[in-house]
Amino acid sequence: MKRMRLGTSTLEVPAVAVGCMRIDALDKKEAERFVRTALDLEANFFDHADIYGHGACEEIFAEAIGMNADVREKIILQSKCGIRKGSFDFRKEHILGSVDGILKRLKTDYLDVLLLHRPDALVEPEQVAEAFDLLQGSGKVRHFGVSNQKPMQIQLLQKSLKQRLVANQLQLSITNATMISNGINVNLENASAVDRDGSVLDYCRLNDITVQPWSPFQYGFFEGTFLGSDRFPALNRCLEEIAESRGVSTTTIALAWILRHPAGMQPVTGTTKVGRLKDCCRATEVRLSHEEWYRIYLSAGNLLP
């Protein structure tokens, strides 16, 4: 497994993160096999959130991996907090309470990374700073980041923080590539030229914040995967042709498309299928050519000027 530096941190992490949002759909044996396979593939970075399964996913993961001190030192754990029913909440008390719950469910004393999960319109950066200082000072969290935030929101937080934000988890796939396409269609009047996120990709690159793409195979907002979908015939033909020429799966090529971008992104898988997880990890061994990358981009209906 290819490894990379996470933001400005000292963490050397796998180039592909294992998302655990759907692990609660597995029975005990299936969960154990899934986690064991990830470790065998050297994919030891596991992404969680307290909202996933309302905490059940973290509990199931801890049980499946057989969490103990020896196991803990061999893995990298990231979780997220801030989503509540009917609101988002970045208040100091909520962050601190959420982390205590996460640690209890994961059966660990610390998180390697904590992300704030989606922006809270009522955020008070000073409260976030106080929470982060307490969490870092107590050893409960070692590094911090955000999820689904645009540059000005990150800057607003960073102004009050002592810690550098090391990651920003954002939706990105071949079919949901607005943060790439708006940078290609500059100064045009088409829909692809609309900057919906404040040039967040360039901002993260300029500030050494690792972008973690979520739902790398989804189109829309959890509408389904584009792989094999009748809605994207040209894209699937393109992926199949390139996959056949490389001797890999279309899953591998679709993830290799994200990894080919020079931003050095760390995509987060969402699968619980062992075979697909293997295909995802294989993507770190495939480097698409310049021509292949643009061919895939265009086949999904993305525009060039």
pLDDT at 222: 84
Catalytic residue, chosen from 52, 203, 219, 297, is: 52
Q: What is the mean pLDDT of residues 130-153?
A: 98
Q: In the chain, what are the domains? A: 3-229+261-286 (3.20.20.100)
Residues 167-211 have pLDDT tens digits of 999 999 999 999 999 999 999 999 999 999 999 999 999 999 999
For residue 273, the model assigns a pLDDT of 97
Query: What is the distance between the alpha carbons of residues 147 and 257, in angstroms, rounded to a whole number?
Result: 21
Read off the pLDDT band of 142 (50, 70, 90): very high
Q: Would you state the structure tokens that stand for residue 2, as one six-digit string?
A: 């290819």
pLDDT for residue 295 is more than 90: yes
Across 12-39, average pLDDT = 98
Q: What is the mean pLDDT of the chain?
A: 97
Looking at the chain, list the stretches that DSSP marks H as alpha helix, in order from N- to C-terminal side.
Answer: 28-40, 56-65, 69-72, 92-106, 125-137, 151-160, 178-184, 200-206, 233-246, 250-259, 274-282, 290-299
Q: What is the mean pLDDT of residues 156-162?
A: 98
Q: Can 52 be counted among the known catalytic residues?
A: yes
Give percent of the chain above pLDDT 90.
99
221: pLDDT strictly greater than 90: no
